[in-house]
Amino acid sequence: MSTAPAAPRAAAEQPAELVARLRATFRSGRTRPLDWRTEQLTRLRALLTENRAELVEALHQDLGKPEAEASGADIDLPVREIDHTLAHLAEWLAPQPVDVTGVFGADATAGTRLDPLGTVLVIAPWNYPVQLLTVPLAGALAAGNTVVVKPSELAPATSAALARLIPRYLDPEAVAVVEGAVPETTALLEQHWDHIFYTGNGAVGRIVMRAAAEHLTPVTLELGGKSPVFVDADADLDAAARRLAQAKFANAGQTCVAPDYVLTDPATARRLEPALARAVEELFGADPQQSPRYGRIVNERHFDRVSGLLDSGRTVTGGTRDRADRYIAPTVLAGVAPDAPVMREEIFGPVLPIVEVDGLDAAIDFINDRDKPLALYGFTGNAATRRRLAEETSSGGLGFGAPMAHLRVPELPFGGVGESGMGGYHGLLSVETFSHRKAVLDVPLG
């Protein structure tokens, strides 16, 4: 873990002092004007674009992230979110009138306005350590809050880079970075925040929510889980396999919305297996370990965990690993039993199990028997099947044809439901998440 101080002043500050300082800034009114907000967003955008090379290098050090992947997911996606917010913020912040003349007479006026919440905490994970810190940060700033961000200690090079860059670009009276692991996060969680935005696993999500309950602080929990993929017999299997492999094996499978497992009927499974093997070879060549387009597992603990899942079925492709290089081959497992080890936890690695089910009804039952996933994906040419998956299952998001693509669209809300989380963000929802929609009613006297 880096011990580089976030800023000379922040280094000496205890969490309580830091929160008091940021709260004083908020109380001063400095963060409320639209101009301040747009300036901070513009500066955050510059931080990302002007330091692209340094951030991509840090992501490579931490995760072996290929350059195109790091640039696209950790720089371009937040930039797109910021651009969308800059284009719409004035319109989103405009008070929304409500007609109350029928209740209070012609002179009465009413409406709603978005108030910033105050001083908020953003806790980010290691897998997309720039994106998952800067997109919530952009939402919190757009909403007019002061913010503490806590990068993940498991991506130490990226954490150090963000801790150095953020104070250089953003208003140091309003934004602070606190680096650290469990003790530092625990100390932050003891403070009184106006909102806590946490991205990571559900076990820590529970710790966050318990700590927040002490102060009745609202939380957004962006968690994970097993996101299923239903492949219909009528789907174009070569095209589906290409899209599936691309999504599953990006960042070596360490993506919260990665397709976790495939549900399909036995005959379709037989045809899908070779199509997936071909798609993996097309993407990464005969030896993915040599491919500049393939990433690595974040650390040895996760390497050992994912390695333990490789024997859960018949290997269609992959199955090899190299601990010294934290490399696990893109792996497809067929004929996987519903209770196999790989089906008992979120995989969060480059292993794609195929579980055979007896058609759509059985697939829907399989999904509904388990925790509500962060995403559900379908490959089908049948509109009735699409409608049934939409109506008869519950998931954070639902994607047909292009797994994971929904999170690239700022107009679409992003978040989980049930075990995959609560609340959401992106675009307007980011601003709403970090605001309170206040009712305002004005009934003239006399």
Q: Of the two residues 124 and 212, which places its CB atom closer to ligand NAD in the complex?
A: 124
CA atoms within 13 A on the CB side of 63: 31
Closest approach, Cβ 244 to ligand NAD, in A, equals 18
Residue selected from 10, 147, 154, 231 as contacting ligand NAD according to rule CB under 6 A: 154
Q: Does 413 bind ligand NAD (CB under 6 A)?
A: no
**Which residues, in sequence order, are CB contacts of 8 under 8 Å at separation 6+?**
none
Cα distance between the two ends of the chain: 66
Is 282 noted as a catalytic residue in this protein?
A: no
The two counts, helices (H) then strands (E), for the chain are: 17, 18
Residue selected from 237, 374, 404, 431 as contacting ligand NAD according to rule CB under 6 A: 374
Q: Does 176 bind ligand NAD (CB under 6 A)?
A: no
Mark the segment that binds ligand NAD (CB under 6 A) among 139-147, 181-189, 319-327, 436-444: 181-189
Q: Which of 355, 362, 361, 352 has the alpha carbon at shortest distance from 337?
A: 355
Contact 124, 115 (CB under 8 A): no
Residue selected from 161, 177, 245, 256 as contacting ligand NAD according to rule CB under 6 A: 256
Q: How do strand 435-442 and strand 321-322 relate by DSSP bridges?
A: unpaired
Task: Please list the alpha-helical segments (H only) found in 51-195.
Answer: 52-63, 67-70, 77-93, 101-104, 131-142, 156-169, 182-189
Task: Please give the torsion angle defined by the CA atoms of residues 216, 220, 224 and 227, in that order, rounded to the nearest 10 degrees.
Answer: 120
Q: Does 251 bind ligand NAD (CB under 6 A)?
A: no
Q: Of the two residues 321 and 406, which places its CB atom closer to ligand NAD in the complex?
A: 406
Q: Does 345 bind ligand NAD (CB under 6 A)?
A: no
Q: Does 24 bind ligand NAD (CB under 6 A)?
A: no
Site string for ligand NAD, 260-299 (x = CB under 6 A): ----------------------------------------
197-236: which residues touch ligand NAD (CB under 6 A)? 199-201, 204, 207, 222-224
Q: Does 153 bind ligand NAD (CB under 6 A)?
A: yes
Residue that has been written with the tokens 């309003």 in this structure: 174
Residue selected from 185, 380, 385, 393 as contacting ligand NAD according to rule CB under 6 A: 185
Burial class (CB in 10 A: 0-12, 13-18, 19+), 319: middle
Sheet containing 96-98: give its strands across: 96-98, 109-116, 435-442
Q: Does 182 bind ligand NAD (CB under 6 A)?
A: yes
The count of residues interacting with ligand NAD (CB under 6 A) is: 28
Tell me the one-letter amino acid at 215. Answer: H
Q: Of the two residues 56 and 375, which places its CB atom closer to ligand NAD in the complex?
A: 375
Catalytic residue among 256, 273, 419, 432: 256
Q: Does 375 bind ligand NAD (CB under 6 A)?
A: no
**Which residues, in sequence order, are CB contacts of 299 under 8 Å at separation 6+?**
154, 326
Catalytic residue among 222, 273, 346, 356: 222
Is 356 noted as a catalytic residue in this protein?
A: no
Tell me the one-letter amino acid at 136. Answer: P
Closest approach, Cβ 445 to ligand NAD, in A, equals 50
Q: Of the two residues 222 and 232, which places its CB atom closer to ligand NAD in the complex?
A: 222
Q: Does 348 bind ligand NAD (CB under 6 A)?
A: yes
Q: Which of 226, 204, 281 has the alpha carbon at shortest distance from 249?
A: 281
Q: Which of 5, 105, 30 has the alpha carbon at shortest distance from 441?
A: 105
Q: Report the catalytic residues.
A: 222, 256
Binding site for ligand NAD (CB under 6 A): 123-127, 132, 150, 152-154, 181-182, 185-186, 199-201, 204, 207, 222-224, 256, 346, 348, 374, 416, 421
